[in-house]
Structure 1
């Protein structure tokens, strides 16, 4: 009797579980189907999605990379905009160049939300970054940071770019001197070159990553590219399921790269304030924001000394580090890729390469044989090669 009773309960619980599972799956299916009517309900042209991965179906099947999958969708229509889905997340794909320009410039105040969640209280690594802020916090910080990128400020910081460029050229020449000829991973060379520029222009640090490959600035790149389980899952979720970010923070999943950046920023600021050091770089301008609440209008005044020493700081170390790590990520990868692709294309067409070289020489001659900010602006053909 006990055995029959036990078996009966087991069958009952099993059936209840199966019924619950079927109910959940059915409701989930219809919920996803309803989500997939979003663009239809809004009246936008859309691509009929495949359940459950939509446009990411070839990515999950390992048939295509994310960029390739989006490009394939881009080519399937002639509409200016197209509604697509990243699993269950509705996304509007912009195909018109003028519309994209308007979104990024004229109407950018309506499109500043990247849809990525950060936890202000528990994740100061990124929460102060302009890329992640929303609403009034984003508007306020953007207004404060806009003066950082005036032509006058950029010109003043250009001297350090030339110094780093000379070190990169010397490194390549030494490789050729030692070996006569040598195959180099050009993109890696350009990545290292870009990181040294970022270290100098943004952080005011004189590093030579070609000779010192274990310096902390390069470690940030290594940590960013380190494919740990937590970084892969967290990075994917930020893109597809941003609401899960709070859970990952609670689990203690934190990136190492921002911590390294924070320590570098903290030590550098303390040293500059203690020794009264002034340097023409991005960190100095952020120190002005921190101590004065605004960037100096005078392009020749780089002092970050507060008028009232006891006054509260207008920007935290964490906020400065958050924005510098964003500049780092956005700067080194794009710079390395752009230079590498441009050099590769020019190498395929010797006539275009010769014309670009002549354009550079002529521009430098027109500016008293000096490699300056103004001479670069005057390299019209090289600009076409890069932008084209």
Structure 2
């Protein structure tokens, strides 16, 4: 009898859960919003659960569903949570710019107790805290400050040149060798970020197993466990504490705390000013010390470390990905590579072998190439926001599109990858075509259909540095070297389904050719 009662209770409980999920899964139907039918229990997350695709790219698949091509929004479910995918550029503008005060928070979040570095950084922090921190950090990223960093970045760019030269000479007498280009680009961007942000020579190009590079590599190696962490943080944020989700691993957090502590103490001891992120963090700690009776973020050391953490991770990964995707496309399109290298070499001749900060910013075709790479390969393939009601004001409506009024806490997702591959805005979107960004063609681009760095007040604070770092790296690779396809080069780009950011599923192997050494080798043969 007891067994029968237990079975009856279990069946009853499961039935109640199922009915509850089904009730939630009828939300968009009841609200009159077009939707993709969910799978029972897991909603529209099946591809991510089965590791067929990342949920970020799956949002773009839903965006591109032929049944939804005339819709302004699409309703989906992250497990049982109703979420909106925004398709229409005007509605995207509303979320990102016009009604930003209602969408100022990301939907994703981190556990404030188990992951203080994740929850305290600018990327995840919420409400007025975000505004305060953004204001404090903005001075690091002005065009004037970025220009001051240029000489530091240039030192690392020369290291990159030496790295390539050495490997060409060591690997062959023919003036060429094959390498996994993403790793080379990651070593360069790691060294660059380490010097401009922390005043540290990371030496990843000299030693691929250097401490900075090792930690960065581990952070963005998407194992099943890491895929789970990012999925929960962005799509099931209410579970981050229960499941002990960490954006930064404990090992990385320990490394960063000890590094930042040492660098800040040294900077405070010497009084040396370098116009970098550490100077800002030192200044914040000084502010806190001068007014001990007032609350201040800088009293929490993890707050300071968190800003350094997001600067480092975002800074090296975005630039290295963009550089490697650019070199992959240039290897596939040799005529475009020839045009870019000609522009670079003409500028170098004009500058006596060097490029000033102003000159590299003026290279028109280089800018076109980088912008087109960011269109095809946006590092973050989606943006997330959460709707917030405002006291004593009516909630936002989707009229005239739909008779729907937002409810507090509704997650919204903007599928950047889908928008930037939509043939409505980009003819032949899978074709690499920098001409889309020529001065005359830029005028016709639909603004909200291109936003690799986001838009509005919550846009990427470090975009200037990221773009400059990417351009500088490409210039110093291509000035003396060309890149070519080889037997190991992937014929078609496939993305890692475990990845939170856009990453190639396999390595990107290219042949690096040193023009002068190759010509000398060819002359010897003949």
**Match status 1:272 vs 2:272:** no
Residue in 1 that maps onto 2:75: 83
Once the two structures are overlaid, the 10-residue window that deviates more, 280-289 or 166-175, is: 280-289
**Match status 1:235 vs 2:230:** yes
Residue in 1 that maps onto 2:125: 133
Cα distance in 2 between the residues matched to 1:364 and 1:44: 56
**Match status 1:36 vs 2:25:** yes
Cα distance in 2 between the residues matched to 1:292 and 1:375: 38
Superposed CA deviations along residues 233-286 of structure 1, whole A, max 9, x for unmatched, are 4333223322222234499x9632122111110110001111222223222223
Cα distance in 2 between the residues matched to 1:153 and 1:19: 68
Once the two structures are overlaid, the 10-residue window that deviates more, 99-108 or 337-346, is: 99-108
Residue pair 2:140, 2:276 contacting (<8 A) in 1 also? no
**Match status 1:170 vs 2:170:** no
Cα distance in 2 between the residues matched to 1:230 and 1:75: 29
Where do residues 49-64 of structure 1 align in structure 2 (5 Å cutoff)?
49-64=38-53
Residue pair 1:45, 1:83 contacting (<8 A) in 2 also? yes
**Match status 1:185 vs 2:180:** yes
Cα distance in 1 between the residues matched to 2:277 and 2:142: 12
Structure whose residues are more often helix by fraction = 1
Superposed displacement of residue 368, structure 1: 7.2
Matched position secondary structure for 1:247: coil
Mark the runs of 5 or more structure 2 residues left unpaired by the alignment: 373-526
Residue in 1 that maps onto 2:336: 352
Cα distance in 2 between the residues matched to 1:336 and 1:84: 33
Cα RMSD after superposing both structures: 2.9
Residue in 1 that maps onto 2:208: 213
Match of 1:201 among 192, 196, 200: 196
Superposed displacement of residue 163, structure 1: 0.8
Cα distance in 1 between the residues matched to 2:348 and 2:280: 29
How does the TM-score come out when normalised to structure 2? 0.63
Residue in 1 that maps onto 2:139: 147
Residue in 2 that maps onto 1:7: none
Higher RCO, 1 or 2 (CA under 8 Å, sep at least 6)?
Answer: 2
**Match status 1:385 vs 2:374:** no
Label 1:141 to 1:343 Cα distance change in 2 as closer, same or farther (>3 A).
same
Match of 2:301 among 317, 320, 330: 317
Residue pair 1:116, 1:238 contacting (<8 A) in 2 also? yes
Superposed displacement of residue 320, structure 1: 1.8
Matched position secondary structure for 1:91: strand
Mark the runs of 5 or more structure 1 residues left unpaired by the alignment: 1-11, 294-305
Residue in 1 that maps onto 2:314: 330
Cα distance in 2 between the residues matched to 1:122 and 1:341: 35
Label 1:80 to 1:355 Cα distance change in 2 as closer, same or farther (>3 A).
farther
Residue in 2 that maps onto 1:244: 239
**Match status 1:113 vs 2:105:** yes
Superposed CA deviations along residues 177-222 of structure 1, whole A, max 9, x for unmatched, are 1122321000111111111111111111012112223332123213
Superposed CA deviations along residues 111-130 of structure 1, whole A, max 9, x for unmatched, are 33222333435542223211
Cα distance in 2 between the residues matched to 1:150 and 1:75: 37
Q: Looking at CA atoms only, which structure, 1 or 2, has the larger radius of gyration?
A: 1
Superposed displacement of residue 39, structure 1: 2.8
Cα distance in 2 between the residues matched to 1:314 and 1:65: 35
Residue in 2 that maps onto 1:14: 3
Match of 2:323 among 324, 339, 348: 339
Matched position secondary structure for 1:184: strand
How does the TM-score come out when normalised to structure 1? 0.83
